[in-house]
Amino acid sequence: MGNMMVDLVIPADIMAVIATLQAAQIQANYAIGAAVLSSLIGAAGIVFAANYAFKSGLKTQQHNNILEAKREVYLDVVASGQLFISSINRFPRVNSNFYETFTNYYDDFSSKLNKVLIVCDDQNKKDTVKVIGLLELIYNTLNVEIYNYQNTGIDLVKYTQEFNEKNEKLEDIEAKRHEARDRLDQVSFKRQIQQNQKGVADRIIEKREIEIEGLEYEIDILGNTYRIGSYLLEDLKRKMDSKSLAVSDIESRVESILTNHKEELSQEFSQLNKKLRIELF
């Protein structure tokens, strides 16, 4: 027998069932893929949201830390500036540490302003530099003047004290000289009487003569001491007048400097403070 090929004929209703099953499988596969894709997208969204929240939290914390650091720097510069301006408002004042106090306040204020320059926003750097420039101008102009003022004032106080002490000693010397003159007059009067009296021993008159010589010598010594002291006192008086005039001249120059720049510094520093406070909010 020869080979026979038999064509398999599938009924139409079975073919319809097969097609339906294949369509269902495809739809199921699509649904699974869509669910997986949706899950991946959701997971990615969660990761992104968490990462964003983390970074946002870090930025917020960093921002708060920066603001706190700025706040401390700005509060420090306000306190330091008030001390410096207050110190120059109290001029003139002569004491042993005014120059050192003035210099220390300047150093502190200048240092705090430079910190502000580092941390402040760009729009406030120009105003900060302007205040620093005014501060340096005032300090450089006043530095030598106040140093000389303090030293001149100290010299004036020293000369005044020395003058008063020497003047008191001169008054004491003058009182002693008057007292010696009175005693000389009394002894001279007694000697004259004794010389006119008969029977007075020569030794008594000689004793009066020796006493008179001693008093005259004492009066001469006191007189010379008084003259030397008077010369020294006049010299001290000239020095006092010179120092007093120098102090007045320095005060006039310093007042002129402060009149020109102190108010400007106060105003510029006040404006800078306002801008720095705005920067914190």
- Identity at 198, one-letter amino acid code: K
Range of the domain at 92: 13-279
Mean pLDDT for back-to-back runs of 10 residues, the chain (281 residues): 48 57 57 53 48 48 72 89 82 63 89 90 90 90 81 87 91 91 88 74 79 89 90 91 88 80 87 86 71
- Its pTM stands at 0.55
Q: Is residue 6 part of a domain?
A: no
Closest to 108 (Cα-Cα) out of 140, 137, 85, 142? 85
Q: Is residue 1 part of a domain?
A: no
Determine the length of the chain.
281
Q: Is residue 2 part of a domain?
A: no
Q: Which two tokens stand for residue 229?
A: 């002291």
Cβ distance 131 to 143 under 8 Å? no
- pLDDT tens by residue, 71-106: 888 889 899 998 888 877 776 554 556 777 888 899
Q: Is residue 259 part of a domain?
A: yes
Separation CA 149–CA 98 (nearest Å): 10
- pLDDT tens by residue, 195-242: 777 666 777 778 888 888 888 899 999 999 999 989 989 999 999 999
Q: Is residue 129 part of a domain?
A: yes
Domain count, the chain: 1
Q: Is residue 121 part of a domain?
A: yes
Residue 263: CATH number of its domain: 1.20.1270
pLDDT attached to residue 31: 54
Q: Is residue 5 part of a domain?
A: no
